[in-house]
């Protein structure tokens, strides 16, 4: 019998077709395999018995980097196609249809071995195969073919060519295939401006500089990194000065999981993610350590967590052969939170004078990608930054999302577009208020539109008219006469999570974050919704308090402390007044009384700020959410006490919370206990509120999203509180809970509304 099998998922550019070919050959199956519209299509002549076995083996034996989302099997009339053998059909029809681009893949074990054994690849630092190597970062156009990538400038040598064309070779159709004779090289310019490219000398030089406590800049997969010894305090401080970054933690790279374990706690889920081919940075809890080498305190000031990753390029492995330290700081090569640098010119210009070596390679980066970041909450790996190793792997919608372009939020921006039922989210872009980042945003959007042959029919953006993303959407809409749908920020957060878990019925949504414009003009951020994908009803939220100074309040948490105490008519503690200055406090109160620059907010992010300042943890912040992070990091882990909360009614008051906190301050209760009580109260608030709303509405499914749930303590607490309940809790995992997930939510809301209009 003849069957047509369609496989959807991550199946292109990861060695899926040769896998099918070899499997069919082993099983004596006739037919063909080809890349098609967003998937792989197989024709196979199968007996009843073969059919079951073939499908099972495709599912269980596929290449490690492939993932199958959907498989459809259809019986055809035997006469439709006749096969004499099994073949891989070349890309004749791919150009218009194929839309899948694989993420970049960490170098695999087999390739690391080939570096030791294959004559033409001894030590070769850009080794790759059908299952590993660069993908998204080098692709310029589809179909995914060497000439459409930044490898087009490298002519394959005869040996590589023969491997490339041999279906039995591990490098069959590996588009970036390369070796010492024909592939990319590392190089740097010495003091005399002379170009040096001897790899052996280069790794020796890197190792010497790192051992001496120097900072070097190195071109990687998706951009440059700044690198130094993580155990050398002065090297780390030097790096901080170069980056112009006060306290934001640096990510570390360790040689392997074993050398990481003296420094951090690693559970099984975390280890799996660390070792996965996606190689993200995983946030791990630091161990108190008495090792010969200790991590410099400048790496993560005030933090109990360390962002850790494992080597993913051959050169990383080579460094660890030659350096003394078990850990390197690996932070993105950019200044002042601009986009990560990708070209040698920018690297020389921006970093050349401040580092001891700028190491380039000559494989151009077409799509810049930062390292991805995740943390495991409970047993759920939750992405915080979805970029290298993940983007642009698609999400699959359960409704038609064809032709929609979503512009995202403003900070932590990503955008998303969709073809058919396939949603493609961009890599992490960043804060659009930064001029260079905004150019990166428009450039990437154009590149995605070109790459995926995408023409928008419908646009979606945030409700906030002043977001640079919304302004860009507005311009695009009017220039091209395309309809634009504006989506409330927290609704988008909730719907992104609904999509990820394929929730189609109304759910309860708890969306807590820094800020998002509400439909009444206030800055929301502590929302309890009943919502579906089209609409939401706001069931409960915190009492509005003024946010004196508007956006300024986000970087000056003390303003929020003043706002809450003033709003609830509570006394200011002596110590607080002394720290901030009575005059400043009074002027802020005057501002609020006159209702100048004091928009109303229901934001939990601001509540974290206000509480952090009041408890003496952070009065002014050097970056967004710093106060909230410090509050989480200092919270006592065993304390189960909490502040009283009034949870009835649809308005939530924090009066008794602040009243009790003031009492704690008077009694000199340790800050760590206060921070714990604060977290415990919020977790309990969610649990009680959700239980009550669930009783009232009969809805048993609750999604939880928004930047506040990057707070691992809070997230794990609510996971525990709902563990034994009949209410199912859904967390965003693949789509970030922060504003990096908003674009996908906007896109799905637009799709759902369009669908209901058609019906």
Chain residues binding Zn ion by CB under 5 A are 108, 111, 129, 132, 157, 160, 179, 181-182
Please state the closest distance from residue 403 (CB atom) to Fe ion, in A: 26
Half-sphere exposure of 559 (CA within 13 A, CB side): 24
Choose from Fe ion, Zn ion, none: what does 739 bind? Cβ within 5-8 Å by kind: Fe ion
Cβ distance to Zn ion smaller for residue 181 or 590: 181
Cα distance between residue 98 and residue 148, in whole Å: 14
**703-742 footprint of Fe ion as x/- string (CB under 5 A):** ------------------------------------x---
Choose from Zn ion, Fe ion, none: what does 157 bind? Cβ within 5-8 Å by kind: Zn ion
Cβ distance to Fe ion smaller for residue 624 or 656: 624
Cα distance between residue 92 and residue 554, in whole Å: 54
Distances (CA, A) of 159 to 96, 120, 152, 169, 263: 32, 8, 17, 12, 44
Strand partners, 483: none
Choose from Fe ion, Zn ion, none: what does 108 bind? Cβ within 5-8 Å by kind: Zn ion
Half-sphere exposure of 396 (CA within 13 A, CB side): 11
Please state the closest distance from residue 99 (CB atom) to Zn ion, in A: 25
Please state the closest distance from residue 493 (CB atom) to Fe ion, in A: 6
Choose from Zn ion, Fe ion, none: what does 513 bind? Cβ within 5-8 Å by kind: Fe ion
Please state the closest distance from residue 623 (CB atom) to Fe ion, in A: 16
Cβ distance to Zn ion smaller for residue 67 or 478: 67
Tally of helices (H runs) and strands (E runs) in the chain: 24, 31
Cβ distance to Zn ion smaller for residue 61 or 190: 61
Residue 188, C-beta contacts closer than 8 angstroms, at least 6 positions apart? 195, 196, 202, 205, 357, 358, 359, 360
Q: Which residue is nearest to Fe ion (CB)?
A: 513
Cβ distance to Zn ion smaller for residue 177 or 523: 177
> Which residue, chain included where needed, has tokens 């002394």?
578
Q: Which of 404, 408, 436, 406 is nearest to 420 (CA)?
A: 404
Please state the closest distance from residue 539 (CB atom) to Fe ion, in A: 19
Under DSSP, is residue 607 helix (H, G, I), strand (E, B) or coil?
A: helix
> Which residue, chain included where needed, has tokens 């059908």?
130
Applying the rule CB under 5 A, the residues between 495 and 514 that interact with Fe ion are 513
Cβ distance to Zn ion smaller for residue 161 or 450: 161
Applying the rule CB under 5 A, the residues between 116 and 135 that interact with Fe ion are none
Please state the closest distance from residue 372 (CB atom) to Zn ion, in A: 20
Q: Are strands 327-332 and 251-254 parallel, antiparallel or unpaired?
A: antiparallel
Please state the closest distance from residue 257 (CB atom) to Fe ion, in A: 33
What are the tokens at 603? 């934001």
Choose from Zn ion, Fe ion, none: what does 229 bind? Cβ within 5-8 Å by kind: none
Cβ distance to Fe ion smaller for residue 517 or 592: 517
Choose from Zn ion, Fe ion, none: what does 522 bind? Cβ within 5-8 Å by kind: none
What are the tokens at 357? 């070596």
**# of chain residues touching Fe ion (CB under 5 A):** 2
Strand partners, 286: 264
**512-531 footprint of Fe ion as x/- string (CB under 5 A):** -x------------------
Question: Considering the rule CB under 5 A, would residue 431 count as an interface residue with Fe ion?
Answer: no
Please state the closest distance from residue 467 (CB atom) to Fe ion, in A: 11
Distances (CA, A) of 488 to 409, 415, 522, 555, 686: 10, 16, 12, 24, 21
Backbone angles phi, psi at 308, to 5 degrees: -125, 145
Cβ distance to Fe ion smaller for residue 173 or 489: 489
Cβ distance to Fe ion smaller for residue 460 or 565: 460
Please state the closest distance from residue 106 (CB atom) to Zn ion, in A: 9
Q: Is 641 exposed, middle or buried (0-12, 13-18, 19+ CB in 10 A)?
A: middle
Cβ distance to Zn ion smaller for residue 164 or 396: 164
Q: Are strands 30-36 and 86-88 parallel, antiparallel or unpaired?
A: parallel
Choose from Fe ion, Zn ion, none: what does 111 bind? Cβ within 5-8 Å by kind: Zn ion
C-alpha 639: how far from its chain's center? Answer: 31
Please state the closest distance from residue 131 (CB atom) to Fe ion, in A: 37
Q: Which residues bind Fe ion (CB under 5 A)?
A: 513, 739
């Amino acid at each position: 019998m003849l069957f047509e099998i369609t496989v959807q998922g991550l199946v292109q550019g990861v060695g899926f077709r040769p896998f099918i070919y070899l499997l069919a050959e082993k099983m004596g199956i006739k037919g063909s395999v080809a890349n098609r519209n967003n998937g792989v299509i197989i024709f196979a002549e199968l007996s009843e018995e073969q059919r079951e076995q073939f499908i099972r083996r495709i599912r269980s034996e596929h290449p490690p980097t492939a993932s199958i989302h959907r498989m459809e099997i259809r019986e055809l009339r035997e006469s439709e196609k006749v096969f004499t053998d099994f073949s891989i059909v070349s890309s004749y029809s791919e150009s218009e249809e194929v839309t899948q681009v694989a993420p970049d893949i960490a170098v695999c074990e087999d390739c690391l071995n080939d570096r030791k054994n294959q004559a033409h690849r001894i030590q070769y630092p850009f080794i790759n195969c059908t299952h590993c190597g660069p993908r998204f970062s080098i692709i310029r156009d589809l179909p995914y073919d060497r000439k459409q990538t930044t490898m087009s400038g490298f002519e394959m040598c005869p040996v590589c060519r023969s491997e490339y064309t041999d279906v039995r070779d591990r490098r069959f159709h590996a588009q970036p295939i390369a070796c010492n004779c024909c592939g990319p090289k590392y190089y740097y310019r010495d003091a005399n401006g002379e170009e040096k490219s001897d790899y052996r000398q280069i790794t020796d030089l890197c190792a010497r500089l790192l051992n001496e406590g120097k900072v070097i800049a190195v071109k990687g997969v998706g951009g440059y990194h700044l690198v130094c010894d993580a155990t050398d305090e002065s090297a780390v401080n030097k790096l901080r000065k170069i980056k112009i970054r006060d306290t934001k933690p640096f990510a570390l790279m360790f040689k392997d999981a074993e050398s990481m374990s003296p420094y951090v706690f690693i559970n099984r889920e975390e280890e799996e993610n660390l070792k996965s081919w996606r190689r993200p940075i995983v946030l791990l809890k630091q161990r108190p350590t008495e090792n010969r080498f200790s991590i410099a305190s400048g790496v993560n000031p005030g933090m109990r967590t360390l962002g850790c990753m494992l080597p993913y390029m051959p050169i990383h492995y080579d460094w660890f052969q030659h350096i003394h330290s078990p850990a390197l700081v690996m932070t993105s090569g950019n200044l002042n939170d601009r986009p990560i640098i990708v070209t040698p010119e920018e690297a020389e210009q921006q970093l050349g004078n401040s580092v001891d070596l700028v190491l380039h390679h000559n494989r151009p980066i077409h799509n810049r990608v930062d390292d991805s970041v995740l943390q495991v909450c409970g047993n759920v790996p939750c992405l915080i930054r979805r970029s290298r190793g993940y983007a642009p792997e698609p999400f699959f919608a359960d409704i038609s999302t064809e032709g929609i372009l979503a512009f995202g939020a403003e900070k932590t921006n990503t955008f998303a577009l969709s073809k058919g039922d396939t949603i493609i989210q961009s890599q992490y872009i960043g804060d659009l208020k930064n001029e260079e980042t905004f150019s990166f945003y428009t450039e990437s959007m154009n590149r995605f539109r070109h790459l995926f042959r995408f023409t928008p029919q419908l646009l979606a953006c945030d409700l906030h008219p002043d977001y640079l993303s919304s302004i860009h959407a507005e311009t695009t809409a009017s220039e091209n006469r395309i309809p634009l749908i504006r989506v409330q920020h927290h609704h988008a957060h909730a719907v992104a999570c609904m999509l990820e878990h394929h929730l189609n019925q109304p759910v309860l949504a708890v969306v807590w974050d820094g800020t998002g414009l509400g439909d009444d003009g206030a800055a929301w951020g502590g929302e309890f919704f009943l919502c579906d994908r089209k609409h939401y009803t706001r069931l409960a939220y915190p009492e509005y308090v003024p946010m004196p100074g508007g956006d300024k309040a986000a970087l000056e948490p003390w303003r929020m402390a003043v706002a809450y105490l003033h709003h609830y008519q509570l006394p200011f503690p002596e110590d607080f007044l002394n720290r901030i200055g009575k005059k400043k406090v009074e002027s802020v109160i005057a501002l609020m009384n006159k209702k100048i620059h004091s928009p109303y907010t229901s934001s939990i992010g601001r509540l974290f700020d206000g509480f952090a300042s009041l408890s003496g943890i952070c009065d002014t912040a050097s970056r967004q959410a710093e106060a909230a992070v410090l509050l989480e990091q200092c919270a006592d882990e065993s304390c189960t006490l909490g502040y009283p909360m009034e949870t009835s009614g649809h308005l939530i008051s924090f009066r008794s919370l602040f009243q009790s906190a003031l009492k704690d301050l008077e009694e000199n209760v340790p800050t760590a206990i206060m921070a714990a009580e604060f977290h415990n109260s919020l977790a309990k608030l969610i649990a009680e509120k959700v239980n009550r709303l669930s009783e009232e509405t009969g809805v048993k499914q609750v999604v939880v999203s928004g930047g506040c749930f990057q707070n691992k303590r809070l997230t794990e607490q609510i996971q525990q509180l709902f563990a034994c309940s009949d209410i199912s809790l859904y967390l965003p995992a693949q789509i970030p809970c922060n504003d990096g997930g908003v674009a996908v939510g906007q896109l799905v809301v637009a799709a759902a509304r369009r669908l209901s209009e058609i019906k």
